[in-house]
Amino acid sequence: MENLIQSWKQRSSNSRKAQKKFIRHLEQYRGKHLDTLADEIHEEVFSKVNCLDCANCCTSIPPIVNKTDTARIAKELGMKPAAFAEKYLTVDEDNDTVMNQSPCPFLLENNECFIYAFRPKACREYPHTNNREFSKNLSYHAPNAMYCPAVFYILEEMKKRVP
């Protein structure tokens, strides 16, 4: 597992252009069939890549925290939503409300998430490669392959299975 993550670090920085080109190639296949294939490959890759050996998303991409997330997390932490927002949230350059620190303030030393059971929707859905949502999120996958080893390996596997 460690080796997969190590080799992703070496390979991903050299493959940015190729990943972008492959995503453009995939445009023609957008839809149900591609999403079914992506779901299959997502499962295969995540059976080999353990997020607890990685946590790169939690250390490098502040997640969007919407109003529903804020209300839910604040309630679970026994805080008022406004107090939670004041302490943990900020508005980024895209005008999205996100966690105000990177690494995320809820990431523990062992790479577990302190608020895992009630984490933001964006964290639950990342890296947007399964649940029949691969095509819808096509433009995210090349940039995400630079942050997420699983996305990198999903695209590498997809290259072998898409004409």
Structure token pair of residue 149: 């080893």
In the bound complex, what is the minimum distance in angstroms from residue 111's beta carbon to ligand SF4?
Answer: 8
Secondary structure (DSSP) of 6-45 = HHHHHHHTT-HHHHHHHHHHHGGGTTHHHHHHHHHHHHHH
11 or 29: CB nearest ligand SF4? 11
Nearer to ligand SF4, 120 or 141 (CB): 120
Please report how close the Cβ of residue 106 comes to ligand SF4 at its closest, in angstroms: 4
Residue 29 or 46: which CB sits closer to ligand SF4?
46
Least distance (Å) from ligand SF4 to the CB of residue 88? 9
Residue 155: CB minimum distance to ligand SF4, A: 13
Q: How far is the CB of 39 from ligand SF4 (least distance, A)?
A: 16
Question: Is 6 or 28 the residue whose CB approaches ligand SF4 more closely?
Answer: 6
Q: Which residues bind ligand SF4 (CB under 6 A)?
A: 49, 51, 54-58, 63, 104, 106-107, 113, 115, 119-120, 123, 126-127, 147-150
Q: Are 147 and 60 in contact (CB under 8 A)?
A: yes
CB-nearer residue toward ligand SF4: 33 or 67: 67
Complete DSSP assignment for 72-133: HHHHHHT--HHHHHHHHEEE-TTS-EEESSSS-TTB-TTS-BTTGGG--HHHHHTT--STT-
The amino acid at residue 2 is: E
β-partners of residue 90 are 98
